[in-house]
Structure 1
Amino acid sequence: MEQNPHLTEREYREKAELEQRFAALEQEAQNREHTADREAEKQISYSDSRARSR
């Protein structure tokens, strides 16, 4: 993290905590996106196999 001479120690801690929370939220969003993609692929695959079996 960049050192900003205008921030107090408390502000540094708060900034670091917010950055950490933001990174965790970004990771969670990516995980949900990947899960949604996999679920969509399963649905497409299931639909394709049902269409072929008719």
Structure 2
Amino acid sequence: IDMTKAHVWDSSAVAALDQVTEHFRKHGVEVEIIGLNEPSAELHKELTGTLTGGH
């Protein structure tokens, strides 16, 4: 998923990315998020996997 021109502003954006990547992985698709700027990458790293309740 190319996030080069996007910015992850808050936990809802991280949760949305988690849901999308989980959906693809459940269907056997390898997912990589690329292009996050430094603040977005830090927020994603801090929060990913903690917001979707395992969905």
TM-score by length of 2: 0.34
TM-score by length of 1: 0.35
- Higher radius of gyration, 1 or 2: 1
